[in-house]
């Protein structure tokens, strides 16, 4: 009987949290998708450029990857992964990215250090991984400092 009560409490707590509204967050499956054998390894880097009037312009630079809308799915050259990117700011998913440039309004940033991360994702929203590493890039930015970008990292950087 005790096990049944614990199970009921666990289920109830899960249902309660599942019904809480999620604000400003897009919810999808972000499980890993291992790059198929024989595919070119995608590389990703992101650069934040301060916008003279408001916020930042994010540049998403990829190689060996077809960054595109799901409407174009299936047109990548053989051996090339395709999909879109996800933008996360301070751990919250904000938008999907289908191209190289995206404007980020200053209202997206809190005072102090902010984490801007971009992941490469399949059209089914799975995060591409090579080995056990997701293909992602992160920039730490403090909008109140000059320069604003404090540190950057890429799990699979562009070749130098």
**CATH of residue 128:** 2.60.40
So what's the pLDDT on residue 30? 64
Q: Is 12 inside a domain boundary?
A: no
Domain contains 159:
no
For residue 15, being part of any structural domain is answered with: no
The beta strand positions in 36-122, using DSSP E, are 43-50, 56-63, 65-67, 81-89, 92-97, 101-104, 114-121
Residue 110 within any structural domain of the chain: yes
Q: Is residue 37 part of a domain?
A: yes
Per-residue pLDDT of the chain (160 residues; tens, 9 = 90+): 333 333 233 333 332 322 222 233 344 456 899 999 999 999 999 999 999 999 999 999 999 999 999 999 999 999 999 999 999 999 999 999 999 999 999 999 999 999 999 999 999 999 999 998 999 999 999 999 999 999 999 999 998 7
- Using CA atoms, how far apart are residues 37 and 74, in angstroms rounded to an integer? 18
pLDDT score at 159:
86
> Is 1 inside any structural domain?
no
Give the pLDDT score at 29: 52
Total count of domains within the chain = 1
Within a domain: 10: no
Kindly report the backbone phi and psi dihedral angles of residue 112, in degrees, each rounded to the nearest multiple of 5, phi listed first. Answer: 90, -160
């Amino acid at each position: 009987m005790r096990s049944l009560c614990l199970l009921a409490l666990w289920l109830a707590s899960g249902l309660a949290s599942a019904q809480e509204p999620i604000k400003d967050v897009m919810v999808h499956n972000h499980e890993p998708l291992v790059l198929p054998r024989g595919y070119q390894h995608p590389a990703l880097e992101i650069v934040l450029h301060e916008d003279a009037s408001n916020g930042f312009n994010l540049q998403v630079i990829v190689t060996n990857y077809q960054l595109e809308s799901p409407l174009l799915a299936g047109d990548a050259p053989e051996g090339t992964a395709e999909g879109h990117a996800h933008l996360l700011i301070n751990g919250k998913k904000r938008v999907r990215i289908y191209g190289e440039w995206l404007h980020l309004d200053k209202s997206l940033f809190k005072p102090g250090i902010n984490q801007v991360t971009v992941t490469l994702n399949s059209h089914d929203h799975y995060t591409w991984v090579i080995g056990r590493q997701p293909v992602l890039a992160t920039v730490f930015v403090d909008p109140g400092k000059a320069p604003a970008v404090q540190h950057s990292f890429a799990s699979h950087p562009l070749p130098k």
